[in-house]
Amino acid sequence: MTAVTAMMTLLLPLLLLFPGLISAVTVTGGIKPNNQLPSVSLLPPSTTVTLAGDRLEDSRSSHVFANGAFRFQDVKPGTYLLEVHCRTHLFPSFRVDVSPEGLVEVFGTFRGNEWNNKGERRPHPIDISPGKASEFYQVREGFNPMKLLGNPMILIAIVAIGAMTLMPKMVENMDPETRAEFEKQQKSSMLANPQNNPLQSFDMASFLAGSSSGKKPATPAGGSKRK
């Protein structure tokens, strides 16, 4: 016991001269499974945990062990933001305060929250469970025939096919007088008499050439036009 007391007496001045030897602590924690994550083994190998401080040199990153644990050694006094980066699940964020005496305090937080507004206190070591699964990709919907009815072109085609199919049957079921009147109207219509259709005599080439008819413009006697 005397030797231990003498050793502590010799080391005490050194600890007072170098407070960093007793102020650096270890921040530990682990990812715990839940309904969103049945097993930690389902996490992708790229999953990392970051401890971001006010200064870049105080920030660090750690991979997750097979059992979901993570560890940050020699953490200096200060305030840090602890986050889990995973492409398959979303995890809550935490605020970690390390005091000069080596006390570690953990609080719940989120991005956009005022840093002075501390959330719910959490125990240390930190247990983190995912909130929900990430949805980066939109699931392709299967073929649904009912959605085709919402297309106006499909509806027009269905009506046209139905009219073409039902029209002959409707004509056959007409009484003789109505049927004769219907046939008379069909014969006198423009579509039934191409001779009465003005589009039959339309000359597209002449129209594109700048003339309203297919005939060439008349040339006055003398062989030249007046200017």
For 157-211, what is each residue's pLDDT tens digit? Answer: 888 888 788 777 777 777 777 777 777 777 776 554 555 555 556 566 666 666 5
Contact 54, 79 (CB under 8 A): yes
pLDDT at 18: 47
Q: How far apart are CA 167 and CA 161, in angstroms?
A: 10
pLDDT at residue number 70: 95
pLDDT in tens, 8-64: 455 445 444 444 444 578 999 999 999 999 999 999 999 999 999 888 888 899 999
The conformational region for residue 223 under phi > 0 = left, psi -120 to 50 = alpha, else beta, is: left
**Of 227 and 27, the one with more pLDDT:** 27
Start-end of CATH 2.60.40.10 domains in the chain: 2-133
Terminal C-alpha separation, the chain: 131
What is the mean predicted confidence (pLDDT) over 78-100?
A: 93
pLDDT at 141: 76
* pTM summary value: 0.53
> Can you name the CATH fold of 2-133?
Immunoglobulin-like (2.60.40)
Residue-level pLDDT at 119: 86
Instruction: Tell me the C-alpha distance between 10 and 44, whole Å.
Output: 49
Q: Mean pLDDT, the chain, as a whole number?
A: 77
